[in-house]
Structure 1
Amino acid sequence: MFEAFRSARLISLVVVLLTLSGCGGGGGGGGTSKPPLLSLSPGDASITISQGARGSFSVTATLSQEAIDTIDHVGLQDGGRFLESNFDVASSSKSLAYITFRTRRDLPVGQHSGRVNFHLCMDADCRSTATTTPFVLTYQITVTPPPPAAVITPSAIQGSVESGDILVVSLAAQVVAGLEVGGFAVVDQQRRFQPAVQIVSRDEQRFTISLSALPLDAPGTHSGTVDLMLCYSSYCDTYAQVPGSPVSIPYTLTVTPETLMQPVPSVSGLPEWETFQGNPDHTGYVPTTLNAATFTTGWSWSAPGDIARLSPATTGSGKVVVTAGAGNGTTPTLYALNESNGTVAWSHDFGNRHALNHPAVSAGRVFVTTTGHNDTFMWSFDIGTGARLFQTPFSSQSESHLAPTIKNGYVYTNGGYYGGMYSFKGLTGTQRWHAPLRQYHFWTPAVDDDYAYAHTGFEFVVLNRRTGERALTVPNSQINSRGYALNIAPVLLGNGSAIVVDGIYSFSDLEHNNHLIRYSVADAGETWRVAGQFRSNPVVADGTIYVSNNAARQLEARDEASGALLWAWSPSDASESLPIGNLVLTDNMIFLSSSAATYAIDLSSHQPVWSTPRTGHLALSSNRILYVVDGAMGRIDAYRLAP
């Protein structure tokens, strides 16, 4: 018979009975000469809970044999409306059941008295009952003011961090029994902590959570209090808090002066070719005057095994650095060669990684990313020994990256599962920030003292270098998009302006129409744009922009202020495409590769003064060694350009 206490039947009956009236009285209907049809133990229940918590109490219900023989089922009605509509029933026999009731979570502080009516129903719809009045369980719920929603360990936050770095704090939160917590958030009136809180792990009511401080630039001691909000769900704000929230946590943060990478001066005093197009401005310019009559052929080197291709080269501390992609029987490998003779100083095998990208060099260190979901890391190596200095995880899918850009001790790169830019501290690999951007690959930011610049197809974006916050967005509605591999970087002019080619996409797609655009940060928009089929990242010096334009199959010199064409040069052989690589600019020459040769063009005569049949990506080190990297053949040729 106590199968009648099944939940679905009872819930539906409660709904029916809530519409009835006149259900008063106390219980029983049976004579004294025979046992009652239903016995409840206890007949009165009381419970004390804190506000916002759920409590429960149980009752044992016993049916007589007469009730078992005559009634259809037992129905329950909560007259006080202080209990949840669902309750648990466990039956050990036809005559015996154990019923557990749960209090509502939204009860206010105070005393709440009610009664549960037990109806002995003679039919399925309970139109008639075995007694004129129900059997009654009375209850009283005492709701007390809530204690703090959780006990936090440690009870105070203390930490030390270098200026500009992000302090991450781990806390344990033991949530009060009965509170259902699904999320956390931070409110900090001093704005020293980020609002978001990460749940690291959970074991019933015990959470391990992670709080992150915002970067603090001013050295010294910073004290205050954060309010940790506990909420019913992962969406956590003031209106979704559980009782006893927020919990206040005092903090003391000690900020020490920042320690940054120190530049390594070159022997010649010239800058190294550290990243894509040489420097964080990506100008491709090396301030030296050369004499073509003194150029000599140096060494050549070929990567061992069957590689996919070599990256462009970067240089520093007497080394030239490249990466080799995985090939048939080979794995992605980073190589550091001695500039003096092309021998391998050291190498690092990355094993079975999805992608090993282009390297950068700065302050005696090599920086390179691997990408491909869980293979995504920022790596750093000592350029002298090859010792690994750090390996910091970040987020990406399967895109490829140009070389990271290094500025003022920080490393900037493309990254993010759905696109963006990262900033890492070069000395430790600590992530400083990530900013979301449109998702493209084969690009790298330009960086100056204040901003980081990116052109991601449909927009030119300027970010605060220290925080990653957007300072400017300029749409580019006229882009002729051809995919997601941009092969570009903004070029900074040093006056709050930048030059970009809005997408090269594929070096084999020679007839792709695109634009050369100058942007002004001060004017928050374009200064000018020129249409063409531009095939190289521009280089710039002394007010002149140089870029290759396949529309006229020529190298072009254009005025920085207006974009007007100043002069042009084309290979004499009409079969040569121009270029397949990049441009390198000095005070008196510009170097470029066609499909047939690498040329040095004199900036005064606008004619070639030197050439070599080797072609590829170019780099010019502080030792005035020109490197021609044939990526597809896996070969590097070195040429000494004596002053």
Structure 2
Amino acid sequence: MLSTMRRRLSAMGKLFAPLLALGASVMLAGCGGAVRDLLTDTRDMYQLNKSSAECQVDQPTGTCQDVKILASKRHNFSETFRPDWVEEADATSPVHVIDHVYRDPLANGDMQLSVGFRTSVQPGIYTGTIKLFTLSLDPFTEWRPTTFRYRLEVRNGGTANLTTLPAVIPGRESWVGYGGGGTRTGYMPVSLDPAKFNARWTRWVVSPTNSWGESLYLGQGLIALPELDVGGGPSGRNASVISLKDGTELWRAALPEYPLQVIGHGDRLYWEAPTGRVMVTSTTAGTVLGDHTAKGNTAVAPGWTVAGGRLLMPTDPEVNYLSALDVADIKTPVWTTTLTDRIVGMNYASWGVTADADTGVTYVNAGGVYRMLRLSDGGIQAEARVPTREDLDLLGQAWVHQAPVLPDDGMSAILLSHRDLMRGSAVQNHLTVVDRTTGAQRWDATGQFMDHPVTANGVVYVSNQSTKAVEARSLADGSLLWTWPMPSTDGFWQRQMVLTDTHLFVSTDKQTVAIDLATRTAAWQVPVGGWLGMTPEGVLVVVSPVAGALQMSALRTFNLR
């Protein structure tokens, strides 16, 4: 009798399924679970030819082929709706890594499953269960969910080579911001042997926004990472410090505001938020030891520096300001100087400051005016008009992303009018050399200079997207001494170049190359590109942004000595 009821109700359900389902649910709820259990027929949807979907990649963002699983129908399941799916991650690895489960029906009523993984996650092992489920139109038939396990293993991308770190290069304390900080020449006084170059370690970091390598601090045997998390996923922590020796995490902290850049001095780290707020921690812990909020904002310009015991910080409320804070007590500025723009109606942002503590002079190129200021009180000693950006964005601002470079001749200053920070974005700009003390122009060149210029020994090096070449120019007159063409397989130059006595390190979207300055040929290259920096110990750091559901970057280090 029950079997006859099921057959008749099932046939009627095809026409009146929604009403029957609702009515039956109400009726059975009133009668109690015993009657429901008696009338309901629980069935399996599919039989799978695999019990799990598995993938293994060598590093984050590696490619996983879709895992194919055949789902053979049971009990004419194909007459109902196509099932939906859900990922249930295990508590030990709560990050969701399944990108899709395609469910393609076959002619015989079976279904071909295609399971795709999302690999833009931290290295680790991710496991869980995928559940196929459906809502039956027959109120007296319940379809049991079909489940199978998944496992994704993401490796770190290579074996660490943790050799003993060499001694600090004489005269170098840290690398930070445009041109590595200091005089911003991008120069490290060291001779290198490419036969000794090798990968050291790799870490993968995540951030809620795009990160720029120029915002990192490399010094004192550590790497400070603003707005980056070296953990397994979003955690609310926004500042991290890791060991240069082996890449291990030294500490993480949740600062009051997200910092976009960091600089170090002594045993202190100064983290700067885009609102103009500076938060001070020690190098060993994330406790905030000091706090200062400037008027205006600092945008995303890693153009601040420390000189003569003062933190020099550009800010931009609506006009340009340069403030000097005492590194021992940042509460109140020692001085603040207003720097007007030379073009009416233009608002320049993201410019940097360079200081020479020995001479007590500070140099800026803000708003199309090159200026010399006294480090002691911010008084303007000299100023001159120079080429600058003259186009506005939609918000009425002109972003320049540059700071003066002070070459070793002691008489010149190298200026870049402006550039863009976005990967691959080339803008027409000026490379200008002026007299350091007066601002009088000595020579000017135009192109699409992608990078902050680097210089040593009377030569200026720039990467020019318009010629797709690295150009070596005479500091004295700008004449072209030699070029190194970008490989034909590559698309654009990245930043920041690093210069040594023997090699120039450059990066494209595809690779990082060490150009031998004597032979002007590639002496070493690795198939990863990004922002470049060099620690005082002579370890090359490459920060490579990686696209994905989470903003992710690869932080790679290379032994050079």
User: What TM-score do the two structures reach when normalised by structure 2?
Assistant: 0.62
Equivalent of residue 322 in structure 2, options 421, 428, 449 = 421
- Match runs of 1:31-46 below 5 Å: none
1:318 corresponds to which letter in structure 2?
A: G
Match of 2:461 among 523, 546, 556: 546
Change (3 A) 1:563 1:310: closer
Tell me how far apart the structure 1 counterparts of residues 253 and 265 of structure 2 sit (CA, whole Å).
18
Alpha-carbon contact 1:394-1:415 (below 8 Å) kept:
yes
Preserved CA contact (<8 Å) 1:307 1:330: no
Q: Structure 1 residues 442 and 613, CA, compared in 2 at 3 Å: closer, same or farther?
A: farther
Alignment match, 1:360: 263
- SS, match of residue 446 in structure 2: strand
Q: CA RMSD in A?
A: 2.5
Judged with a 3 Å threshold, the aligned counterparts in structure 2 of structure 1 residues 305 and 594 are, in CA distance, closer, same or farther, namely: closer
The correspondence of residues 548-563 of structure 1 with structure 2, limited to 5 A, is: 548-563=463-478
Provide the C-alpha distance between the structure 2 equivalents of 1:638 and 1:441, rounded to a whole number of angstroms. Answer: 32
- 1: CA distance, partners of 2:368 / 2:354: 17
Equivalent runs, 1:261-276 vs 2, <5 Å: 267-269=168-170, 271-276=172-177
1:592 alignment partner, one of 477, 484, 506: 506
Change (3 A) 1:420 1:509: farther
Q: Find the partner of 1:455 among 365, 372, 377.
A: 365
1:394 aligns with 2:294: yes
Which structure has the greater CA radius of gyration? 1
Report the count of equivalent residues: 372
Structure 2: distance between partners of 1:329 and 1:387: 20
State the TM-score, normalized to the length of structure 1. Answer: 0.54
The separation in 2 between residues aligned to 1:528 and 1:307, in whole angstroms, is: 39
Shift of 1:472: 1.9
Q: CA deviation at 1:485?
A: 2.1
Q: Take 1:566 and 1:518, find their aligned partners in 2: how far apart are those partners? A: 16
3-state DSSP of counterpart to 2:195 = helix
- Name which of 405, 426, 431 aligns with 2:305: 405
Distance 1:317 1:541, change over 3 A: same
Taking the aligned partners of 1:563 and 1:530, their CA distance within structure 2 comes to 7
Aligned AA (1:536): D
**Against the structure 1 CA distance between its residues 325 and 473, is the aligned structure 2 distance closer, same or farther, given a 3 Å change threshold?**
farther
Instruction: State the Cα distance separating 1:386 from its structure 2 match.
Output: 3.6
Aligned-partner SS, 2:284: coil
Q: Deviations over 1:369-391 (max 9, x none)?
A: 1123xxx3222221133443311
Per-residue deviation at 1:534? 0.8
1:337 to 2:236 alignment: no
Q: Deviations over 1:410-437 (max 9, x none)?
A: 1112114222111111122242111122
Deviations 1:498-539 (A, max 9, x none): 101100034456442111001113344211111111111100
Per-residue Cα deviation, 1:289-345 (whole angstroms, up to 9, x for no partner)? 111111111111112575543543322221011212699955461211101110111
Report if the CA contact (8 A) 2:274-2:300 is conserved: yes
The answer on whether the counterparts of 2:388 and 2:418 sit within 8 Å (CA) in structure 1 is: no
| Cross-structure match for 2:184 | 282
Match of 2:452 among 526, 531, 537: 537
Q: Which of 262, 283, 286 pairs up with 1:383? A: 283
- Of 625-634 and 532-541, more deviation after overlay is shown by 625-634
- Residue 388 of structure 1: SS of its match in structure 2? coil
Match of 2:415 in 1: 500
The whole-number CA distance in structure 2 between the counterparts of 1:448 and 1:571 is 34
Q: Would the aligned equivalents of 2:433 and 2:443 in 1 still touch at CA under 8 Å?
A: yes
Q: What is the 5 A alignment of 1:85-484?
A: 267-269=168-170, 271-276=172-177, 277-304=179-206, 308-309=210-211, 311-312=213-214, 313-324=216-227, 331=236, 333-351=238-256, 353=257, 356-372=259-275, 376-397=276-297, 399-418=299-318, 419-429=320-330, 430-437=332-339, 438=341, 439-449=347-357, 450-476=360-386, 479-481=389-391, 483=393, 484=398
Q: Kindly indicate whether residue 485 of structure 2 is the aligned counterpart of residue 570 of structure 1.
A: yes
Going from structure 1 to structure 2, the CA distance change for 1:397 and 1:318 (only over 3 Å counts) comes to closer
Letter in 1 for 2:182: P
User: Aligned equivalents of 1:347 and 1:311: distance in 2?
Assistant: 18
Tell me the distance in 2 between the aligned counterparts of 1:555 and 1:316. 28
**2:553 corresponds to:** 634
Matched AA of 1:448: D
Aligned residue type for 2:201? W
Change (3 A) 1:524 1:423: same
Q: Deviations over 1:51-110 (max 9, x none)?
A: xxxxxxxxxxxxxxxxxxxxxxxxxxxxxxxxxxxxxxxxxxxxxxxxxxxxxxxxxxxx
CA deviation map 1:342-373 (0-9, x unaligned):
0111122225x3x522211222321221123x
Please, which runs of 5 or more residues in structure 1 have no aligned partner? 1-264
Residues 575-600 of structure 1, C-alpha deviations (whole Å, 9 max, x = no match): 42341211101110011110110111
Partner residue, 1:623: 537
Change in CA separation of 1:478 and 1:431 when aligned onto 2, cut-off 3 Å:
closer
- Map 1:18-33; keep pairs closer than 5 Å: none
1:305 and 1:468, CA in 2 relative to 1: closer, same or farther beyond 3 A? Answer: closer
* Worse-superposed segment, 325-334 or 614-623: 325-334
1:261 aligned residue: none
Q: Residue type of the partner of 1:481?
A: D
The aligned residue for residue 428 of structure 2 is 513
Distance 1:441 1:350, change over 3 A: farther
For residues 562-615 of structure 1, give each alpha carbon's deviation from its aligned partner in whole angstroms, at most 9, with x where no partner exists. Answer: 111111101232x42341211101110011110110111111111111111221
Distance 1:332 1:400 in 2: 19
What fraction of aligned residue pairs are identical, expressed as a percent? 22
CA change 1:491–1:268 in 2 (3 A) is closer
Matches of 1:308 and 1:572 in 2, distance apart?
Answer: 27
Q: Which amino acid aligns with 2:469?
A: Q
| Partner SS, residue 273 of structure 2 | strand
Residues 463 and 306 (structure 1), Cα distance of their counterparts in 2 relative to 1, 3 Å cut: closer
Q: Cα distance 1:331–1:474, how it changes in 2: closer, same or farther (>3 A)?
A: farther
CA pair 614-421 structure 1, distance change in 2 beyond 3 A: same
For CA contacts below 8 A with separation 6 or more, give which structure has more relative contact order.
2
Letter in 2 for 1:288: V
- Provide the rounded CA distance (Å) in 2 between the counterparts of 1:528 and 1:542: 18
1:516 is matched by which residue type in structure 2?
Answer: L
Q: Distance in 1 between matches of 2:388 and 2:516?
A: 35
* Counterpart code for 2:468: R
**Residues 578, 518 of structure 1: CA spacing in aligned structure 2 closer, same or farther, 3 A cutoff?**
same
